[in-house]
Structure 1
Amino acid sequence: MAFVSFCTCAPAVLVVPESQKWVATRNVNKQTTHDMPSESQTFVSSTKEKEPKNINKKANPTFLVLFKRKFILRRLLALVLAWTSSSFSVYAISYNTDHLGDNRYVSASLAAISEIVGDILLFLISRKIGYRYSYTLLTTFAGALIFTTLFVKNSNAALGLALAICGKILVSASYSLVYVSTADLVPTPVRNQVYGIVTFVSRMSLLSMPFFLYLGEKVYELITYFVMTFMLIAAGLLYLILPETKGEKQPNSLYDAKQQERNRLNTQCKFGGSNENIEVPSLP
C-alpha cells in the first residue's frame, strides 16, 4: 500500500513549481528576478527596503546560527522543552487510558474525542490572548489536573476519569499550539532545521515514556504523574520568555526574527559584533 502511494504521488513533485519568493530570497539565480511577476518583484524590493544597512547581507544563515545568536538559541531551548513536555504527556495519558476508568472502551472513546475538543479550545483562546499566554495557561492547568488525578482515581473512578480527560484536552491543545508557534518564532532559512531538532528530541523522550509508566506501576505511582506535571509547568513558565507572535507575519530573515524581540520585556537587541547593534522600539 505504501509503495502504491509512493508511485502515485512521487511524479507530482516534478510538476510542482518552485516558490518565486524562495528563489528571490535565496538568490539561487540572479536572472530569475527579471522574469518574476510583479508580486515577487514587490516582495524583493520591500525586503531590501526594510533591512538596515548595517547588516551583513552577504552572509547566508546556516545551521550554526542556531547556536551563535542568543535570541535564536533561547527560542530553540524553550521550544525543545515545550515539544518534549507536551508530546510526553499526550502519549503517556493515551497509553495509560486503560487504567483511568472502569470501562476501557469508554475511556478510549473520551480520550479520542478530547483531542478534537482541545483543538477547538485552542482556536478560541489563542485568538483572545495569543499563543504565549495560551500555552502557559494550558500547560499549568493541565499539570494541576493530571497531578490531582492520582489522588482521586482510586476513591472515585468517574471523577478521576473526568480530571484525566480534562487534562488531556489541555495537553492536546498545547501540543497543537507548538506546531503552529514554532513556525512563527524562527526565520525561514533555519525553520526546517528547528523543526527537525524539536521533533527529534521530543521523539527521543518518548522512548523513555513507557519506562516511566512501568516504573510508576511497579515502584511508585507518583513518579509518572510528578514527571508529567513538572515538565508541563516548567515548559509553560519558560514559554513566557518568548515573544508574542499573534497578528505578526512569519519571519523571513534574522532581522525579521530579531524585530519580534520588541514584544518581550527587553528593548535592546544585538545581532553580534560592534557594528550590528539594532535598537528595536518598545511597544506603545
Structure 2
Amino acid sequence: MSGVGEILKAIGDFGPFQKCLVLLTLIPCLSVAFHQFCQLFMVVNVPHHCDTSWILTVGPNLTQEEQLNLTLPRDANGEYEQCSMYSPVDWDLDSIVEYGLNSTQKCSSGWVYPSAEPPSLLTEFDLVCDRKDLNDIGQSIYMAGLFLGSMIFGPLSDRACLVLELPLCPISMCTWPSATEWIGVSSRPKAVLGSHCCFAIGQMILAGLSYGIRNWRLLEIAGSAPIFSFFFFIGVLPESARWLVTKGRMEEAKKVLQKAAATNKRSLPAGLLEQLKPEKKIKSGSFLDLFRKKHLRKVTLIMSCAWFVNSFVYYGLSLNVTNFGLDIYLTQLAFGAVEIPARVGCIFILQWFGRRKPQTVLLVLSGLVCLIITGIPEDQPVATTVLATIGKFASSASFSTSFVYTAELFPTVIRQTGVGLCSMSARVAGILAPLVRLLGQYHPAIPMAIFGGAPVLGGLLCVLLPETRGTDLQDDTGDNQTPTEVCENATSSSENGQVKGKGGGQVNEYTKTTYF
C-alpha cells in the first residue's frame, strides 16, 4: 500500500504548488503582528489636564493661561497636575484671584487635550489618570481572546474555518497545518522560518503604518483590510490530501494530488494513485500520559514553564515599547527588524550547539537584560532601548528554539498534545504580561524585574532536560526508558548508521529528522 507521503515525493515535496500555498498562508502573519501590537500606537500618551471650564461662568474673559493658573495645582517640577484640580467654589472672580483656591479633588468634568494630534483611543475614551489601567486590561483581554481562539480553532484546519475566524486573530492556526501537510520534512524548516520572519516584517509594517496614519480608526482599517483578501483565497486553498484520506474521501484526495502534480509539472507513476487506501487509525497517547509517566511529567512541566516565561518576557518587552524613552516608531521598527536575524540565526545555533544549551542560554540572557534595565537611569533612553532590543533578540531566538526542542522531546503519539499544552501556557503568559505592567504604578522597576526574573529561573530549569540533537524521534511513550536513555540509544544507533531491531536485526536505515 502506498501512502500520501510516497505520492508527495513523486509530485515534489516543495515545488511551485507548495510554494504558492505557503505564500498564501504567510499573508495572515503580517496582519496578526499588526493586531497584537497596534493598540500601543492607538493609546499614545499625550499632555492633558482637568476640564476647569466652570470658572468661565464667573470670568468669561479669562485667557487660557489665567484659567489654568487659577484652577490647577502644580507638581514638584512646576508643571500643571494632569489628574487633579482645585475644587470649584461659588465665589466671584475677584475673591478667587485674591484668596486663591486650596482644596483639590480629582477631575470631575473630564479632561482637555491641548495638543493638535488626531483623535486616538486615549483622547476619545479618556484613558488617563484613574482610567489609564483600562489600556493594559484591554490588551490582556485581547490576549485572552487569542487563548480561546487557539483552543477553539486550533483543532480545525478546514477552509470553512477561515470564514469564522476572520473576526479573530489566530488565523494561522487553521491555515498553517494544511500548508505544512503538503510539504516534505526537509523543507518544513524553511516554511516555518518564513512564517516567523513574516510576523517580524508585520511588526515593521506596523511601525510605518502607525507613523503615517495617526487617526486610530483609519489605522485599524488599514491594518485589518488586507485580511479580508482571504475571502477570495478560500476557493483557491486546497484541502490537505492527508486529511481527505483520513476521512475516507479518496476521490477528492486523488483529484487534489493530480492538481498538485500538474502544477509542479510532474507525472505520477501509473497505478500509484490507485494504491492509495484509507490509512489505519493509530492509537494515540492521551493528555494524562503527559503527567502519568515520570520522565514525561518532567519534560511537560519544564517545557511548559519554558514556553510560559519565554512568552512572558517577549510580550513584556514588546508591550513596553512606549516606556523606553526613544521614539516609539523607531523602537518598534528595531524590535521587528531584530527578530529576522534571531529567527534565521537560530537554525545555525541549533546545528552547532544542540538544543538544550541554546534554550538555556537564550532564556537566561533575555531575563538578565531585563534585570539590567531596572538599574538604568531614566535619562539614558538609548542604553535602555539597546538592552531591550538585545532582550527581544534573545527571546525571539528562544521561541524558535522551543518549537524545535519541544517537538523532539515529546513522543510521536502525544507530540501534538504536548506542544499544544506548551502553547497554551505561552498564551496564559500573554494574558498576564499586560497586567504585570500595572505594577509599575507602585515602582517603575517592578514589572521589568518580574519579566527578567522569570526567564532566568525557567532557563536554568532547562538544564535538567535531555539533549535531542542527532537523535531519532521517539514514537511511543517509553514506558521502560527515560528520555535520556532513549536519546543515548538513538545516538548510538545513528553513529552506526542503522537502527537495531529486536534480536539485534537491522531494521532500516536511520534517517535524521528535525522538526522546526
Distance of 2:242 and 2:460 partners within structure 1: 46
Question: Deviations along 1:43-62, whole A, 9 cap, x unmatched?
Answer: xxxxxxxxxxxxxxxx9633
Q: Is the 8 A contact 1:242 1:264 kept in 2?
A: no
Question: By how many angstroms is 1:144 displaced?
Answer: 1.3
Tell me the SS of whatever aligns to 2:286.
coil
Q: Which residue of 1 aligns with 2:450?
A: 227
Aligned length: 230
CA contact (8 A) 2:472 2:487 kept: no
Amino acid of the structure 2 residue aligned with 1:81 = C
**Which range moved further: 205-214 or 157-166?**
205-214
- The amino acid of 1:165's aligned partner reads T
Q: Is the 8 A contact 1:61 1:189 kept in 2?
A: yes
Trace 1:258-269 onto structure 2 (pairs within 5 A).
258=481, 260-262=483-485
* Number of the residue aligned with 1:65: 289
Shift of 1:264: 8.3
Q: Deviations over 1:2-37 (max 9, x none)?
A: 433684267614675648xxxxxxxxxxxxxxx789
Q: CA deviation at 1:157?
A: 1.1
Structure 1 residues 60 and 140: alpha-carbon distance in aligned structure 2, compared to 1, 3 A threshold = closer
Task: Indicate which of 311, 316, 326 corresponds to 1:102.
Answer: 326
- Partner residue in 2 for 1:77: 301
CA distance in 2, matches of 1:256, 1:6: 46
Aligned counterpart in structure 1 of residue 438 of structure 2, from 203, 214, 232: 214
Is the Cα contact below 8 Å between 1:86 and 1:171 reproduced in 2? yes
Tell me the alpha carbon deviations over residues 139-158 of structure 1, each in whole angstroms, 9 at most, x when there is no partner: 11221111112222513111
Relative contact order, CA 8 A, sep 6+: which one is greater?
1
Higher helix share: 1
Aligned-partner Cα distance in 2 for 1:14–1:60: 21
- The aligned counterpart of 1:253 is 476
Corresponding position of 2:493: none
Going from structure 1 to structure 2, the CA distance change for 1:257 and 1:110 (only over 3 Å counts) comes to farther
> Residues 411 and 475 of structure 2 are in contact (CA less than 8 Å); yes or no, is this contact kept in structure 1?
yes
CA distance in 2, matches of 1:257, 1:166: 43
CA distance in 1: counterparts of 2:347 and 2:237, whole angstroms: 34
Q: Does 1:8 align with 2:235?
A: yes
Using the TM superposition, give the Cα deviation of residue 245 of structure 1 relative to its aligned residue in structure 2, in angstroms: 0.5
- Could you say what secondary structure the match of 1:253 adopts? coil
- 2:374 maps to what in 1? 150
Structure with max Cα Rg: 2
Matched AA of 1:185: L
- Give the aligned partner of residue 236 of structure 1: 459
Deviation at 1:90, TM superposition (A): 0.8
Q: Which sits farther off after the overlay, 226-235 or 80-89? A: 226-235
SS at 2:354 equivalent: helix
Amino acid at match of 1:145: V
- The whole-number CA distance in structure 1 between the counterparts of 2:418 and 2:298 is 12
- The 3-state SS of whatever aligns with 1:8 is coil
Q: Is the 8 A contact 1:139 1:170 kept in 2?
A: yes
Q: RMSD in angstroms over aligned alpha carbons? A: 3.0
Give the structure 2 partner of residue 134 of structure 1: 358
Residues 15 and 165 of structure 1: CA distance in aligned 2, closer, same or farther (over 3 Å):
closer
Change (3 A) 1:124 1:134: same
Q: Counterparts of 1:265-284 in structure 2 under 5 Å?
A: none
Whole-Å separation in 2 of the counterparts to 1:244 and 1:96: 34
SS state at 2:378 partner: coil
The 10-residue stretch of structure 1 (251-260 or 204-213) with the greater mean CA deviation from structure 2: 251-260
Residues 98 and 108, structure 1, Cα contact 8 Å, conserved in 2: no
SS at 2:326 equivalent: coil
Q: Which residue of 2 aligns with 1:205?
A: 429
Contact 2:293 / 2:479 at 8 angstroms: preserved in 1?
no
* One of 391, 396, 400 as aligned partner of 1:167: 391
Moved over 6 A (4+): none
Change (3 A) 1:61 1:103: closer
Question: How big is the shift at 1:118?
Answer: 1.4
CA distance change for structure 1 residues 110 and 64 in 2, over 3 Å: closer, same or farther? same
Partner of 1:272: none
Deviation at 1:181, TM superposition (A): 0.9
Match of 1:125 in 2: 349
- Using the aligned pairs only, state the percent identity: 24
| Distance apart, 1:68 and its partner CA | 1.3
The CA deviation string for residues 235-283 of structure 1, in whole angstroms up to 9 with x for no partner, is: 1111111110111222211239946413889xxxxxxxxxxxxxxxxxx
Give the aligned residue type for 1:102.
L
Unaligned runs of 5+ in 2: 1-27, 29-161, 164-230, 247-274, 489-516
Deviation digits for residues 81-111 of structure 1, max 9, x if unmatched?
A: 1000011111111111121232111101000
